[in-house]
Structure 1
Amino acid sequence: MKQTLFLKTISLLIVITGLVSQTEAARVQHLTTHSQSMDKDIEAVVITPEGYSENNSYPVLYLLHGYSGNQNDWINGVPEIKDYADLYQFIIVCPDGAFSSWYFDSPIDNSIKYETYVAHELVNRVDDSFSTISSREGRAITGLSMGGHGALYLAFRNQDVYGAAGSMSGGVDIRPFPNNWDISKRLGTYAENKENWEENTVINLVYQLTPGSLKITIDCGVSDFFYGVNCDLHEKLLERNIPHDFTTRPGGHTWEYWENSIAFQSVFFHHFFEKVKGE
């Protein structure tokens, strides 16, 4: 009897698994945008959800990679993001932010204009190419490490473009790291270009926010080398009465941590999109 029940259970699981595999329909595409500001073509990965139709309009989550990465990092590192696109019915866009752009429009190098590309040229290209909610209420942005800095940096400076923003293990204060990750190639050395660093570090951009102007979620592992600066940003946001989610959990600067983070942040952005839709 027990063996028969066990076999029936296994058979049912096989059927269910088959049905799930048949209905999993997130589509991974590659979108090329010609950046006028940098005069070059740049590729992004775009994930459209199951049942995507031009008859509907979808919110978009922009998902940024870290230092030394590219547009394929997220889909390779956390392929489950396709499931989140299906489950929450949003489009996911993973831009190429170059090896070490830090998502700046560099004040010292005119060939690095990644704020303009991600926040404007790419957003316009995505809205022209897909059926999106083409307003800040339908856009969110997050990322890991360099991309965590980039997401908050772009959202704080472009609140007319994004309605929600997040960071995972983000370099949200670059000043303690003057010799790391090519930042000096984008801003000049800290010793000779202190003003560039002060004006372009996320923690110093909090003054641009007003309570409720942007939905914000931040998380960082307690073993991460960026843990201290994330705690500092949390305190700065509290000081200015800026509502935000701040999460810490065990973990370091790893894909295992980010796999967990994006699951929670996807829920956060889904709630944002749904709340806006209901208003």
Structure 2
Amino acid sequence: MKKTFFLSLILLSSALFVNAQQTVSPPTVGFDVEKANIPHGVVDTVTYTSTTVGTSRKATVYTPPGFSKSKKYPVLYLLHGIGGDEKEWLNGGKPQVILDNLYALGKLEPMIVVMPNGRAMKDDRATGNIMAKDKVEAFATFEQDLLKDLIPFIQKKYPVYTDREHRAIAGLSMGGGQSLNFGLGNLDTFAWVGGFSSAPNTKAPEALVPDADEAKKKLKFLWISCGESDGLINFSKRTHDYLTEKEVPHIYFTEPGGHDFNIWKSSLYMYSQFLFKKNIPTLASAK
């Protein structure tokens, strides 16, 4: 069934979206269906030492079709929601299927995708009261685990670029808030940032982007998306409104739907196509 959607594409005083060589459109039926006759990437589970938490922690890692240790790759850190863990995207979002299909169509730059557990505490399972104070605080603690432990581990284990221009972050719900907080708060580490249905943990816009000029200079691409009937949409909209006021280039995309994987899969499908390209694509207008 064909989707309708509302699109707000901000094209301001930046060359980010100029001379685009590709147009990105919302997904069509079958974008998340596994196909047998195309090359497939590989998903592995890795364990790294977290000095931040004081224990070993797990993450899942997707390497693209044709992965070779003799090449270098950019990295997308893809974060889960408050009730999930390092397997939530795999269980509910089929990122490996979505990305495999996009690679088969020639729409992606080869990249490694790291899906960590964003609940940085010794017992990081999504059990019991997931809204407990210590568990919620652990999502903020993950910023240091990510920067000091996980990223250095990935750089040692995989053949990846280590500069900010080859590092992206995105996430859903609680992970969307983390992505905006950590990405926009560490522009020397991340140049590509995306928030899907970002949750109340998202900082106020003035705290996210205290220096609009720095954001304009350092961001390669900023994406914000949400379902139109999502009760959390105001957190995305207030960020979009502030960025518009400050003339920080970004894409704000909404489409019919709520707070679920239908929206998050669609967001990953589109967001991933913008990443690590010299000429940033444009987003197709609604028809």
Q: Give the TM-score range, shorter chain.
A: 0.7 to 0.9
CA change 1:117–1:229 in 2 (3 A) is: same
Partner of 1:219: helix, strand, or coil? strand
Output aligned runs, 1:171-186, within 5 Å: 171=199, 173-174=200-201
Unmatched tracts of structure 1, length 5 or more: 1-19, 176-199
Deviation at 1:162, TM superposition (A): 0.8
Preserved contact between residue 205 and residue 238 of structure 2 (Cα < 8 Å): no
Match of 1:135 in 2: 163
Match of 2:239 in 1: 233
Preserved contact between residue 101 and residue 114 of structure 1 (Cα < 8 Å): no
Matched, 1:156 2:184: yes
TM-score by length of 1: 0.74
Give the alignment's Cα RMSD to 1 decimal: 2.8
**1:213 aligned to which of 218, 240, 255:** 218
Preserved contact between residue 141 and residue 155 of structure 1 (Cα < 8 Å): yes
Partner of 1:53: helix, strand, or coil? coil
1:213 counterpart letter in structure 2:
K
Deviation at 1:274, TM superposition (A): 2.0
Runs of 4+ in 1 over 6 A off after TM superposition: 109-112
CA change 1:111–1:140 in 2 (3 A) is: closer
CA change 1:101–1:264 in 2 (3 A) is: farther
**1:147 aligned to which of 175, 183, 208:** 175
Preserved contact between residue 220 and residue 227 of structure 1 (Cα < 8 Å): yes
Preserved contact between residue 212 and residue 242 of structure 1 (Cα < 8 Å): no
Match of 2:194 in 1: 166
CA change 1:258–1:54 in 2 (3 A) is: same
Preserved contact between residue 156 and residue 208 of structure 1 (Cα < 8 Å): no
Larger Rg: 1
1:129 counterpart letter in structure 2:
K
Matched, 1:33 2:36: no
Match of 1:7 in 2: none
Matched, 1:92 2:107: no
Partner of 1:207: helix, strand, or coil? coil
Deviation at 1:24, TM superposition (A): 2.4
In terms of fraction of residues, the more helix-rich structure is: 1
Preserved contact between residue 142 and residue 151 of structure 1 (Cα < 8 Å): yes
Q: Which has the higher contact order (CA 8 A, sep 6+)?
A: 2
TM-score by length of 2: 0.72
Deviation at 1:21, TM superposition (A): 2.8
Q: Deviations over 1:180-208 (max 9, x none)?
A: xxxxxxxxxxxxxxxxxxxx545522114
**1:261 aligned to which of 258, 261, 267:** 267
**Structure 1 residues 84-93 or 157-166, which shifts more?**
84-93
CA change 1:97–1:111 in 2 (3 A) is: closer
1:130 counterpart letter in structure 2:
Y
Partner of 2:36: helix, strand, or coil? helix
